[in-house]
Structure 1
């Protein structure tokens, strides 16, 4: 695994002219604006469920908000990275920060089957928002810090969920998906190096 500042790297493993460009907003800031309602709905729904069934309130603003946010970011990106082939040990995995658009990211240059890509995108939402919500619901466990991590992560997962929707709508089940820089590409082909 490598660390990088700036936009995700060019994928040297593919010729993008042989791939279909996923139809997605051309600008990452536009993507974030379009996807934001998804995050607000997810965070709002989680909070409503916890409030309605367990009487859990959002805590008053304090140091826990800052701590929760800065704990959530690296864990969220590490979960993405762990879902790529080879996980954190892969030379193809990059964790980065793109200051121009204020985005942290996990990137991998491997060609993956569509469903594996969907797993990569949705895993942080499942691990940091869905599973802790279930724990707080059924084990009657209350933690302000955990609640804030759950809600920040649900909000931050909006682009991941949006990307899942785009892939589900455009890429056939048998399709292969790959990234180069901030763009996503797909095609139908029996590719021996594709990972499941």
Structure 2
């Protein structure tokens, strides 16, 4: 495993070699901007699912989030920023620990950038494993955690905000799952090369 400070660049030669080896490229957004744009419906879906789960235990009160007289304000203090950084770290660590052999893999890494973090790997894995890695942070932080905390009466405003933020931030992960489900056969293997995803039976 390695730590990097920029998104790994696409290697055209390696991708050409993969195509020669009968790997097929998944049709997917070719930039972060277009990925975020196409993932907007999944932002709405993820947010809706998490809000519905939380509504089983607590009512949404916008005054807890700084809403007064039709306006919303946030207090950006050190604790608030620290909580968001810890959320981003937890989200990426959940991705990372599910990558096969992540500690010893020279093809796997954790990326750190100003906008947050990311995990990348060029390890070959099953379709099922790829889907699990992609969806796990959303499932753990924005589905399982609200149910557990709600059941024991610990859904406070800060935790609710962070779990909703994670639901929004998981939209590209959910988009990836959608693309894989509809383009890649169940028995296929999956491999990433830079920002591109390839599959092969």
> Aligning the two structures, in what range does the TM-score lie when normalised by the shorter sequence?
0.7 to 0.9
Say which of 131, 134, 140 aligns to 1:118.
131
Please list the CA deviations of residues 19-68 of structure 1 after superposition, one character each: whole Å capped at 9, or x if unmatched.
11100122221111110231233124422442464225353223354333
SS in 2 for 1:104: strand
The residue that corresponds to 1:183 in the other structure is: 196
Structure 2 CA distance for aligned equivalents of residues 56 and 142 of structure 1? 11
Residue 58 (structure 2) aligns with: 54
Report the Cα distance in structure 2 between the residues aligned to 1:88 and 1:152, rounded to whole angstroms.
28
Cα 1:88–1:143 shift into 2, 3 Å: farther
Question: 1:191 aligns to what?
Answer: none
- Measured in 2, the distance between the counterparts of 1:69 and 1:141 equals 19
- Given that 2:40 and 2:171 are in contact with CA atoms closer than 8 Å, whether structure 1 keeps it comes out as yes
What is the aligned counterpart of 2:157 among 128, 134, 144?
Answer: 144
Structure 2 unaligned segments of length 5 or more: list them: 66-73
**4+ aligned runs moved over 6 Å, structure 1:** 11-14
User: Post-superposition shift, 1:138?
Assistant: 2.1
**Structure 1 residue matching 2:39: 3-state secondary structure:** helix
Report the Cα offset of residue 152 of structure 1.
1.1
**Native 8 Å contact 1:68 1:146 kept in 2:** no
Unaligned runs of 5+ residues in structure 1 are 189-196
Q: How does 1:60-75 map to 2 (within 5 A)?
A: 60=65, 61-62=74-75, 63=77, 65-75=80-90
Flag the 1:9–1:27 CA change in 2: closer, same or farther, 3 A.
closer
Scaled by the length of structure 2, the TM-score of the pair is 0.81
Residue 24 of structure 2 is matched in structure 1 by 20
> Highest CA radius of gyration, 1 or 2?
2
* In structure 2, distance between residues paired with 1:159 and 1:132: 20
CA RMSD in angstroms, aligned pairs only: 2.4
Deviations 1:9-28 (A, max 9, x none): 55798832221110012222
TM-score (norm 1): 0.83
Aligned to 1:32, the other structure's residue is in SS state: helix
